[in-house]
Amino acid sequence: MSEVLLVDTHDRPLGTMEKLEAHEKGLLHRAFSLFIVSDEAMLIQRRATAKYHSGGLWANACCSHPGRNADVVDEAIRRAHEELGLDPAQLEDRPVEVASFVYRADLGSVFEYEYDHVLLARASQAVQLTPDPEEVDRVAWVGFDELERRLLEVPDDFAPWFLTACPLVLAATR
């Protein structure tokens, strides 16, 4: 397992801990959520069902936890390559941070308690992807209006952080 950076509610570093332990103890740690959009749709992924939390739920293009001295944007680009097989050259621009927020979700055996940096990048819907099946069950491009409808009608289909982060991204794209 990898380490996460524990932070306070202002995203100031406090130390590191193994990722699973931080999730089991419900300690606040730094995370990022990368969103990829085209002019009219968002790339979402259905998390692999074998993931230790939120498996089978829909979420943003990718997310993870940057290390202590890591650049959040560089880590997001690296993680998109690992999870989605996305060649960074296929992005139309370098991801930018559009928001951040703290959230806490009780997922049964673990807690998500994260200071989430929300990143946005653009790409063509023709982008070539080769998702890692241990991370991603499938991917889909969903129109913005359809996505907003689904968030309201079937919120339980989505990962908990996505319910907060997605509206922030949609607002930033309009």
Which residues belong to the active site?
63, 114
CA distance 14 to 125: 40
Q: 4-9: which pairs have CB atoms within 8 A and are 24 or more residues apart?
A: 4/29, 4/30, 4/31, 4/65, 5/29, 5/30, 5/65, 5/66, 5/67, 5/68, 7/115, 9/102, 9/115
Residue 59 contacts residue 44 (beta carbons within 8 Å): yes
Backbone dihedral region for residue 15 (phi beyond 0: left; psi -120 to 50: alpha; all else: beta): left
Pairing of strands 111-122, 96-106: antiparallel
